[in-house]
Copies of this chain bind each other. A is one copy, B any other.
Amino acid sequence: MTVTADMAISLDGYVAGTDITPDNPAGDGAEALFEWIHNLASWRQRQNMTGGEDNRDSELMREWFEATGAVVMGRTMYDTGEEFWGDNPPFRAPVLVLTRRPRPTLVKEGGTTFTFVTCGIHSALAQAKAAAGNKNVDIAGGASTVQQYLEAGLIDELQLHVVPTLLGAGLRLFEHLSTAPRTLQPVRVVGTPLATHLKYRFVK
């Protein structure tokens, strides 16, 4: 059972722009972080659309979809994505949402369920592991959720899709972490014109 985190990130370390709201989930100025994804065949397929590019980037996205058996996300990510994902969200797996407010589980089409966990990151991860079968649990975001799992040493593999842009402002992934250096082992590097895909495993 591998716990992964998989983020699109600018070369200068931002995973979202400024002024994030439910109507503006990527924030201002951060369009480039995500626009390379929209035309990938594997992504379009999960959005119930046809066509798109069947390139190396698309293969890596498909790999993520196929490897992931359950997802953990923060409340802000859920709130900002809810409407966009619609009745048949792309996860097609159990999603555990970290929140302070209890709420009944939502069953969507295609295998996605949203279960709201009010008792913290360890509980959400345990529930996700129980739901994932022999597949991975992915900590999907946002930044503060990934930071909490990083800080707790609960992430095994980190994949960064480094988009070739400098944003200069926004929400940083690597922030609010303690200063004890942590060593990773490079697992794979794939460079394409769209992004540089860096996969690391934490050395325990």
Which residues from chain A sit less than 8 Å from chain B, CB to CB? 11-13, 18, 29, 32, 150, 160, 162, 164-169, 172-174, 177-186, 188-193, 196, 198, 200
User: Shortest CB–CB separation between residue A24 and chain B, in angstroms?
Assistant: 15
Bound-state CA distance A196–B187 (Å) is 11
Report whether A181 and B32 are in contact in the complex, using a CB–CB cutoff of 8 Å: yes
Bound-state CA distance A167–B193 (Å) is 29
Chain B residues lying within 8 Å of A191, measured Cβ to Cβ, are: 186, 188-189
Report whether A166 and B177 are in contact in the complex, using a CB–CB cutoff of 8 Å: yes
User: Shortest CB–CB separation between residue A15 and chain B, in angstroms?
Assistant: 12
User: Shortest CB–CB separation between residue A123 and chain B, in angstroms?
Assistant: 25
Chain B residues lying within 8 Å of A174, measured Cβ to Cβ, are: 11-13, 166, 168
Report whether A184 and B29 are in contact in the complex, using a CB–CB cutoff of 8 Å: no
Bound-state CA distance A167–B188 (Å) is 21
Chain B residues lying within 8 Å of A184, measured Cβ to Cβ, are: 11, 164-166
Report whether A180 and B165 are in contact in the complex, using a CB–CB cutoff of 8 Å: no
Chain B residues lying within 8 Å of A12, measured Cβ to Cβ, are: 13, 173-174, 177
User: Shortest CB–CB separation between residue A165 and chain B, in angstroms?
Assistant: 5
Report whether B162 and A198 are in contact in the complex, using a CB–CB cutoff of 8 Å: yes
Bound-state CA distance A160–B189 (Å) is 14
Considering only CB atoms, which chain B residue lies closest to A12 in the complex? B174
Chain B residues lying within 8 Å of A182, measured Cβ to Cβ, are: 165-166, 168
Report whether B186 and A193 are in contact in the complex, using a CB–CB cutoff of 8 Å: yes
By Cβ-Cβ distance, the 10 closest A-B pairs, closest first, are: A189-B191, A12-B174, A169-B179, A168-B179, A164-B184, A168-B177, A166-B182, A13-B13, A164-B186, A167-B181
User: Shortest CB–CB separation between residue A153 and chain B, in angstroms?
Assistant: 11
Chain B residues lying within 8 Å of A32, measured Cβ to Cβ, are: 181, 183
